[in-house]
Chains A and B, each alone.
Chain A
Amino acid sequence: MKARLPLPDVVVGKDLKEIFRQGYGRVLFPRKVAASSGEALRRLREFYGALPDGDGHNISGITYLRRLLWIKTAARHHLAAFSIVAPHTHWDKVRPIVISSDGNRYSSSARDLDPHKTYFPVSFVFSDEGPLPYEWADDSVSVDSAALKTCFAIIKKVNRAIHSQNLPLGISLNFRFKELMEERILPTIEYSDPGRPDSAAAAILPMHAFLTEYGGGDHVQVGWHAYHDAAYQLTAKETNAVRLIRESLKSLPETQKMALVWFLKSRELKASLDVADFGKSTN
C-alpha cells in the first residue's frame, strides 16, 4: 500500500500518527533523509565533489536553491525564514521528529504525538509528490501563522522547480530564537549531551549559549543561509567586491584576514557616523 503523504501544512497529531503508521518513515528514510549528519554530508560530497564551505557558495545546489528562493519570494526578508540543510535525523524512523520550546530553548527528538494537538512541518525534502516534511514543531513553538502560510507556499513553488534534480539538500524553516522573517543573524546548534542516551532529546541553542554551557565541543555544519547575493540589490561593482573579498578572506592567513575585517568594519562604522553627522547638520 502506498503511504499517505503529509502536506506542507498544519496537521493534527492523530492524523500525523496515522501517516507514520502507514509507513511514511519508509518514504523518508534513508533515501531522502540520511541516518546521521555525517551520512548527509557524505552524500553532499559525493554529489558535488566537495563539502560545503561555511558560506555554502562553493556548492552549486546551494547557490541554485538560493536563487530559486529569491525568485519565488516577494521580498528579501522572506529569505530570513529559511535555511538550506543537509537532511538527516538522529532518531528512530517510525515516529516523527518533533521540536518543542520551553521559552528559552528548543528540544528535538522522535516521539509519540498528542492526538489532539496540532503540529506544523519545519523541515522538508523535495519530491515528485510535493515537498515532504520530515520534522515538525508542536504548539509550544510560536510562529506567525500568516508568515508560516507564506513559507509553505514558497516551499511548494521551489519544490515544483527543483524536485526532478534529486538534490541531497533540503529546506528548513528558520524560526530559532527569532521571528520567522526577522533578518537577524543567529548561529544555532542542535546538541546532544554526550553523557545522555542516544535516544534522548537534543537541545537547540544559540551558539553563544552553547559555548557558555559546553565550552565548545565537536560539531559539524548542517545548515546554510538562504540568501542569494542578488537579494541585496548590489551594483555590478559591489557584486565584484563581495566576491573578491569573500574569496580573499578564505585564502589569506589569519592575521591578514583579521586586518581586512577590522579595516572593513572601521570603514562601515565611519560611514554610519558620517550619515549620522549629516543628519544632524541638516536638522
Chain B
Amino acid sequence: MEHVLIVGGEWILIALVFAGAVPELAMTCQFLLAACHAWRNDYGACEPIFPRTAVLIPAWNEGAVIGGSIDRLMAAEYPPQSLRVYVIDDASTDETPLVVKAKEAQYPGRVVHLRRDKGGQGKAHTLNHGLAVVLGDDWMEALLITDADVIFEPAALRTMTRHLADPAVGAVTCYIKEGSRPGNYLTRFIGYEYITAQAGARRGQNVLGAVACLAGGAQLHSRANLLALGGRIDTTSLAEDTFTTFETQLRGRRVVFEPHATCWAEEPGSIGGLWKQRLRWARGNVQVTIRYRRLWFRPSSTHRLGSVPFGLLWFCLFLQPVFMITSSAALLTLYFTAASRAWSAFHVLWITSAVTYIFITGFTLLIDPHMARRVWRQALLFPGVVNLAIILYICFPRLVGEAARWPFTAAGLSPPHVGWLIVFVYAWLGGSLALAYLAKVAEPRWAGRPLGVFLVYVAGYGQLLCACTFASYVKELRRAEMTWDKTEKTGKVTIPT
C-alpha cells in the first residue's frame, strides 16, 4: 500500500514537472493555427469601403507626440471628407492644448479639440467623454480608438475598414509594432514580443474565431457595435480594451485582427516603465478572468470565447508563472525522493522547451522578416542566457558537458561536484522569476541600470513578464488601489523606410 502511494505521488510530481511546458505548448499550437490563416481568414468578406470614420485620441500631456500623430492621420490614404480626428484632452498641463488648437486651425473641420476640465480618471473615462460627442450625431459610421503616440502607416486605416463591410464584424484591430528609434535593448525585446503576441498569436486567434484583445492603441469599431455596447467603455477595470473585445464578441459580433494594417507605437525603454505598463495589463487580465468566470469552457453558438481551445490558450498564458513555480518545486521534490525519475522528467521538460523555443523563435522571425532584422538578437535571448544554456545542454549534452569541463581540466583542477548545479538547474524555472523581479528592483538604485540590463539578459525578458503577471495576482489578492500609470511618451517613433 505504501509503495503504491509513493509511486502514485511520484507520477503526480512528474505530471507537475511537465506542467512547466504547457504554456509553451499552447503557444506553439497558437502558432500552428497562425499558419492556417491562409485558409481561414476574413478576406473573402472584405469590400473597398470608406465609412465616415471618427478617430478618438485620449491625451494627457502628450504635447511631444500628438502633433505628429495627427499629421500622419491626416496623410492617411483615406477620403479627407470621411475622416475626423477628435483629441480628448484630459486636462493636460503641458502644451497639448496649444498643439491641438494649432492642428485644428491647420485642418479646419477635420481636427476637433475636446477638453475635459477635470482629468486623471483614466483612459476609459476620457474615451467616454469623446464617445458621447461622436455618437451625438449620425455622421460617424466607424470609430478608431488610438493613442497619442501611435503612428499609422498610410494604408492602415483603409485596410482595416474593409472588414466592416461584413456586418458580422464588430471591431478590427491592426498590427502594432514597436517604433522607438534609436531605441534600446528593452524596446527591441518588446519589438520581438509584439511579433509573437500580435503577428503570430492573433493570426491564430483569427483562425480560432475568438480574439483575446483589441489593441488599445488601434481598435476600429462599427457604429452598430458601439451602440450595442451601450455607447460606453467599461470604466471599472484596468483593461478597458479587453473588456470591449469580450463584450463585442459576447454580443455575437466578430473581432478581426488585420495583420497587413500596421501602426507604430513608442514603448517603455526602462524596466520600471515596462513594469508599470504590464502590471496594469496583467491586473486587467486577472479582472477579465474573474468577471467572465461563467464564460470559460462553456461553448456557445453566439461566440467562440467559451470554446475549449480558446479557454486553454487563455489559462495557459494567464497561469504561466504558476506552472513554472510548480514545475520547479516538483522537480526539486523528485530530486530528493527519486533522483533518477527527476533526471528523466527534467530531460523531457527541457526537450519540449527546446523544440517549442526553436519553432516559435524561427517562425516568429520569418513572419515579419523586416522587424526580425532589428530584433533577432533579442529573439534568441528572449528566454534568457541560463535557459539557453540549459536548452543547449539538452540538445547537445556531450558537447556542452565537455565544454563545461574543459576549463577545469585545462587548469589541472577536478570539476566541481554537480549536485548543487543540478539543484540550481531544477530550481531555475521558478527561481528565474525572482531574478527577473530583482532586475526591476535594482534598476532605480545606484548602478542599477547596467545591473538591470544584465539581469534581464540572464533571467530572460519572458521571465520578467511572467514575474509581472505573478505580481498582478498579488496586487489583485491584496485589492491594491487601481491607479492608471500612464506610459511616458517622448516622440521617438519613426516609421522605418
Do A and B make up one complex? no
What is B's interface to A at a CB cutoff of 8 Å? none
